[in-house]
Chains A and B, each alone.
Chain A
Amino acid sequence: MSVDELKRGFDRLASGVVPVEDPYGRLMQRKRRRWRVRTGKLAAAVAAVAVSVVAAGVALQGAGDRGGTGFHGWAVTSDWTWRLINSPTRGDLADDAAVIDEILAVERSSANENLPHTKVLFAGNVGTRTVALVARYSDTHAVLDSPSALRGTSQWLGSGNGVMSPVVTLASRFIPDESAQWTLVLAPDGCETSTNVGTYDGMRDRTWQPAPTGDWLVNDSATPPYLRVTCGGVTRQQGPLADLNRLDIDLSRTGLSPAPQGATAGPVLTGAALTAAGVLAFDQLAEAMHRTSGADVVWTGRVPGDVESGDAVLVVGDGPVRPVVLLIAGIDLQPIVALEPPRYGSGDEDPAENQSIRQWSLVSTGSAAEGDLIAVRVPRRAGARAELTDRVLATTPTTAVRVEALDRDGNVVAQADVTDGVAVLALRLSAAVSLNAVDANGVAVATTPFVEPKAGARVFNEKIINNW
């Protein structure tokens, strides 16, 4: 393809894109919606089906957003997804034949010959709307649609082609003009859904409230629920229904401003703005994880060895097992969160391109016991995401000169000298060690356990379960 051919192709593609009549009004509508969400402390985004229900505002001439002859849906890779599709229709309107017919009529308007089967998975009144979750599928592929209409009306707002997974969710924040706050969760027939009640202190088991409806639930709390789904006694999913990969920090609420991005090639976060961003990042993560808040900034500075990174801030919460957040400033204010160890071979980015990723701020999380010895893994960029490294940053009491990591037999498996109050140890991932801060006389002046999940995503060293 030549440059001219590509330019003509771009012209053809873009020519069908027509903005809404009042883009500023639409933007302010979204801003008000975000404000409502934020004031309700819904700071994190519910991840599932997000894209499928983003407000439609663009008219495409000659090309629809669904249907057509080439789209086969998303490959179904789990038997649990089929089990969800084959489950009976749930919801308080599941037996209302007129509503089901209406939903199916809406679906017929976007029929896709490659997905010949349609199944209403859920139909019910939620918030101010009648909501449906619909699977369209073939023998191998499926998509999730989530049309909704204001109660008592037949003006359905279509949205669809979302990914089918064993558990599907729909959140009110993705429906334009929905004033109520709710999250709908639908699991396969026979599973049990529960949500975390209250705040979790990191010490004991979480307290779970089983949904009276069993395999589906509507949660109307301001914070996205922390969900558990068990099937046959096995916990298949446990974690927050929030997108923790990228945080949305609004410093304007603090009265502070980052350095203007267009005016600097360096990190935008320094000084008070950096610490404020660290606290806001902590707040978002703690809220999503239903953890206690009460954040304290315990250290700011440059992570030893990170010559190209910006300043960092370490924020610690309260409780018997204290949540820890490390934020390293980038050129871009909004941070990405390292949730997992490296996923070897999973990146699709050209390594030569990774230089630009350095503009993002980075966040990692950990946990700490009482005391001044606080340790957290240092995050790094990996393509378009962040991952945990084998470097552990530890803050120490002022008298400490060295930090040692001891295995269960008391052998020193890693150690590092303290510089400016912190040490960085090379410690393999999935560690289960004790960290000792040692003074000049070789006496341990602080000690703390450092125990991590063996694999998978984790926040505050709590494993996020996805076992479908």
Chain B
Amino acid sequence: MRGGREGDGVADDFRDFVRIRYGDLLRTAYLLTGSSHAAEDLVQSALLRSMRRWEHIDEPMAYLRRAMVNQQVNLWRRISSHEVLSAVLPEGRTAVRPDQTEAVAQRDELLKALGKLPVRMRAVLVLRYWEDLSETETAQILGCAPGTIKSQASRGLARLRTVLEESGTQRRPGPVTPWMVGESS
């Protein structure tokens, strides 16, 4: 039991955790799903499940990452994410600035390319290169050998490269423009 807390203490702990870490979980979920709706659904579902056994969870972030990844690779959630994946596209581009157009297009292309990866390969990339987890930590979450993570990450990057090249839209890596930085909220 984490911290030996019970009753209201556990409830307070859970509430504080949600308030502090919800955004982090949501961003990870968004990268896993490619959809804002699916991301929120994924986070909330995982949190509600964790809530029932909160006092038994020693490492909540690790637990929730694992829960979200597990849910995401479920068949129906995979279908769902495909359903909304392509919907996550920029609004009409006529009114945006050139640099904004570029950034939105890059984001759009990456999302589409991620959507063409097997769901677990996508999860490997998100855990390794967004969450910055080690191969061992990622392997623990996904329940496979570190060697599998290494090969999946390598193959995932290669496949992303191929997809972007095939689409004929791969853009040269360039400096992060001030607009891109300012995009962060």
User: Interface of A with B (CB < 8 Å)?
Assistant: 1-19, 23-24, 26-27, 30-31, 34, 47, 50-52, 54-72, 74, 159-163, 243, 245-246, 250-252, 257-258, 260-263, 331-332, 334, 336, 348-350, 352-353, 355-360, 383-385
User: Interface of B with A (CB < 8 Å)?
Assistant: 15, 18-19, 22-23, 26-28, 30-31, 35-41, 44, 47-49, 51-53, 56-59, 62-63, 66, 70, 73-76, 78, 80, 83-84, 86-93, 100, 103-104, 106-108, 110-112, 118-121, 125-126, 129-130, 142-145, 148, 151-152, 157, 160-161, 164, 170, 173, 176, 180, 183-185
- Chain B residues with Cβ below 8 Å from A334 are 49
What's the nearest-Cβ distance from chain A to residue B172, in Å?
10
A3 to chain B: closest residue by CB: B129
Cross-interface CB contact of A355 among B87, B91, B144, cutoff 8 Å: B144
Query: With the chains together, A332 CA to B140 CA distance in Å?
Result: 14
Query: With the chains together, A47 CA to B77 CA distance in Å?
Result: 11
A19 to chain B: closest residue by CB: B23
- Chain B residues with Cβ below 8 Å from A8 are 173, 176
A23 to chain B: closest residue by CB: B22
Cross-interface CB contact of B161 among A1, A61, A261, cutoff 8 Å: A1
- Chain B residues with Cβ below 8 Å from A2 are 157, 173
- A34 touching B107 in the complex, CB below 8 Å, given contacts A8-B176, A60-B36, A161-B84: no
What's the nearest-Cβ distance from chain A to residue B58, in Å?
6
When the two chains form their complex, are residues B100 and A62 in contact, meaning their CB atoms are under 8 A apart? yes
B113 to chain A: closest residue by CB: A1
What's the nearest-Cβ distance from chain A to residue B173, in Å?
5
A358 to chain B: closest residue by CB: B143
Query: With the chains together, A329 CA to B2 CA distance in Å?
Result: 25
A53 to chain B: closest residue by CB: B37
When the two chains form their complex, are residues B44 and A27 in contact, meaning their CB atoms are under 8 A apart? yes
Cross-interface CB contact of A6 among B52, B83, B157, cutoff 8 Å: B157
When the two chains form their complex, are residues B87 and A262 in contact, meaning their CB atoms are under 8 A apart? no
When the two chains form their complex, are residues B110 and A13 in contact, meaning their CB atoms are under 8 A apart? yes
- Chain B residues with Cβ below 8 Å from A59 are 36
Query: With the chains together, A348 CA to B117 CA distance in Å?
Result: 10
B158 to chain A: closest residue by CB: A1
Query: With the chains together, A163 CA to B86 CA distance in Å?
Result: 12
Query: With the chains together, A349 CA to B28 CA distance in Å?
Result: 22
When the two chains form their complex, are residues B183 and A16 in contact, meaning their CB atoms are under 8 A apart? yes
A sample of 18 cross-chain residue pairs with beta-carbon separation below 8 angstroms, ordered by A number, consists of A3-B129, A6-B157, A9-B106, A15-B185, A23-B26, A27-B18, A34-B48, A54-B40, A58-B30, A64-B89, A65-B36, A68-B108, A246-B76, A261-B66, A262-B59, A353-B120, A357-B143, A359-B70
When the two chains form their complex, are residues A63 and B110 in contact, meaning their CB atoms are under 8 A apart? no
Which 8 A-B residue pairs are closest in the complex by CB-CB distance?
A: A68-B89, A356-B143, A58-B36, A23-B22, A260-B56, A14-B27, A161-B87, A51-B80
B125 to chain A: closest residue by CB: A6
What's the nearest-Cβ distance from chain B to residue A123, in Å?
23
- Chain B residues with Cβ below 8 Å from A348 are 118
- Chain B residues with Cβ below 8 Å from A26 are 44
Cross-interface CB contact of A56 among B26, B37, B91, B180, cutoff 8 Å: B37
Cross-interface CB contact of B180 among A12, A31, A47, A67, cutoff 8 Å: A12
- A64 touching B22 in the complex, CB below 8 Å, given contacts A17-B39, A250-B52: no
Cross-interface CB contact of B143 among A9, A359, A385, cutoff 8 Å: A359
- A65 touching B35 in the complex, CB below 8 Å, given contacts A260-B53, A262-B58: yes
- Chain B residues with Cβ below 8 Å from A65 are 35-37, 84, 87-88
A-B contact sample (19 more), CB < 8 A, given A3-B129, A17-B23, A352-B151: A7-B130, A10-B129, A16-B107, A23-B23, A24-B18, A27-B47, A54-B38, A64-B88, A64-B89, A67-B91, A70-B89, A71-B87, A250-B52, A260-B53, A348-B118, A355-B145, A355-B148, A359-B143, A384-B78
What's the nearest-Cβ distance from chain B to residue A281, in Å?
16
Query: With the chains together, A263 CA to B75 CA distance in Å?
Result: 26
